[in-house]
Amino acid sequence: MRLESQSALVAGGASGLGEATARTLHERGASVVIADLNTERGEALAAELGDRARFVEANVMKPEPVKAAVDAAAEAEGGLRISVCCAGIGGAQRTTSKQGPHDLEIFHNVIRVNLIGTFNVLRLACTAMAQNEPDEDGERGVCVNTASIAAFDGQIGQVAYAASKGGVVGLTLPAARDMASLGVRVVTIAPGLFDTPLLAALPEEQRRALGEGIPFPSRLGRSAEYAQLACQIAENPMLNGETIRLDGALRMPPR
């Protein structure tokens, strides 16, 4: 799928991986709807990008705001063709500890945002894409979800986060099979350690040490590299039903 003149939705698009993806899609000629809870950052990004960029306030866990964002992207000529979901939260707590069992509400919230929120964006974007006219290859759209290498290499204290991202990995193939007859692809990116707001609070020395633990390149990933892969997924019609690790060959240790 070519990117120029296509309509794209980026959920969680006001910062981090989502912001980089929105910028890259826009630079490549796509019209972009930025959906995020952070109104200030989202509106500022849309204003900076200018023409072909729009912000819609949306909580990925709630159907109506996400549908409004999907509908805004689907208004473009040709309909919504590209959906990228980068919305997510972290959370660190052991299954049990001296303080007692894992807080069930924390586990529930991480699952709601990272897994259920991702599926909420996916199901509504797929519904809109199913109405599109197919292109010359029979394709109607592509959905890119965001997991994490924690889905495979979850560390101590990551039980909730790893479970949520493992769920995103697990739904990728069946969702792609669900949508195959309609010409909509579903692919997931599993990033490793990336220089995003989730790591921004760490001291520089600790951030550098994390990067040095990556085989090659021995640094934190850059959001632009995630955005590049998201665009390449959109452009390559044979990428479907797959989860792609983007981690510099990193395999996380237990702690």
Which tokens belong to 92? 């660190």
Report pLDDT for 201.
66
- Tell me the C-alpha distance between 50 and 54, whole Å: 8
Which residues are CB-contacts of 240 (< 8 A; sequence separation ≥ 6)? 176, 180, 185, 186, 187
Strand bridging mode 96-97 / 80-85: unpaired
Q: Which of 204, 237, 216 has its CA nearest to residue 1? A: 237
Do residues 111 and 164 make contact, with C-beta atoms less than 8 angstroms apart? yes
- Tell me the C-alpha distance between 39 and 177, whole Å: 35
Domains of the chain: 7-246 (3.40.50.720)
pLDDT digits (tens, 9 = 90+) for 195-205: 887 777 677 88
| Alpha helices in 50-131, H assignment, sequence order | 63-74, 104-111, 117-129
Please tell me whether residue 129 adopts helix, strand or coil conformation. helix
pTM of the predicted protein model? 0.95
> Rg for the chain (alpha carbons), in Å?
18
| Beta bridge mates, 55 | 34
- Tell me the C-alpha distance between 234 and 230, whole Å: 6
* 171-205: b (≥16 Cβ within 10 Å) or e: bbeebbeebeebbbbbbbbbbbbbbbeebeeeeee
**Which residues of the chain, if any, have pLDDT below 50?**
none
Q: Which of 18, 129, 15 has its CA nearest to residue 71? A: 129
- Tell me the C-alpha distance between 239 and 82, whole Å: 14
Report pLDDT for 86.
97
pLDDT digits (tens, 9 = 90+) for 51-89: 999 999 999 999 999 999 999 999 999 999 999 999 999
Report pLDDT for 197.
77
Whose structure tokens read 């995003």?
A: 196
Catalytically annotated residues: 161
Do residues 35 and 90 make contact, with C-beta atoms less than 8 angstroms apart? no
